[in-house]
Amino acid sequence: MLMMQGTESDSRRMGTWPPEAVRDHIRFMIDLNAKLSADGELVDAQGLAMPWEARIVKAGPDGTPVVTDGPFPESKEFLAGYWIVEVEDVARAIAIAAEASTAPGPDGEPLNLAVEVRAIGEAPQV
């Protein structure tokens, strides 16, 4: 799983980008997903809503949901989106993460956002 990290400043800044910069950024992501799909590596990819739309849910003492609304001021980073890829080895996952990190910003230059690479674990046999 490749998880693209955003920061509070990244999310606010994108809303101020010129429309053509937003289109270029989204086009980059669509093209990357199409390439991964054509190569048979893409399982799923999604961008996520902004953190202020998030909800944290825990079970209360009686099991009913206790919901906390965002935004969460103590959190400086957030998960902006993810890719689930099926690749030959971790080196290929790292290469894809580096490519995803080069998504363009408002000036067309790569944003170089952090992308966490983590294997999806398997449940132990019971």
pLDDT at 103: 94
The domain ranges of the chain are 2-117
Mean pLDDT for 65-86 is: 80
Q: What's the pLDDT tens digit per position in 14-56? A: 778 899 999 999 999 999 999 999 999 999 999 988 777 888 8
pLDDT at 96: 98
pTM of the model: 0.83
Cα separation of 5 and 112, whole Å?
10
What's the CATH class of domain 2-117? alpha beta
Whole-number average pLDDT of the chain: 88
- The pLDDT-based confidence of 93 (bands split at 50, 70, 90) is very high
Shortest CA distance to 105 belongs to which of 2, 1, 7? Answer: 7
Q: State the helix-helix crossing angle for 19-38 and 90-101, rounded to 10 degrees.
A: 160
- Cβ proximity of 79 and 5 under 8 Å: yes
pLDDT at 68: 83
Mean pLDDT for 70-91 is: 83
Cα separation of 53 and 88, whole Å?
36
pLDDT at 70: 62
**Three-state SS letters, the chain:** CEEEEEEHHHHHHHCCCCHHHHHHHHHHHHHHHHHHHHCCCEEEEEECCCHHHCEEEEECCCCCEEEEECCCCCCCEEEEEEEEECCCCHHHHHHHHHHHHCCECCCCCECCCCEEECCCCCCCCC
**Other beta carbons within 10 Å of 9:** 9
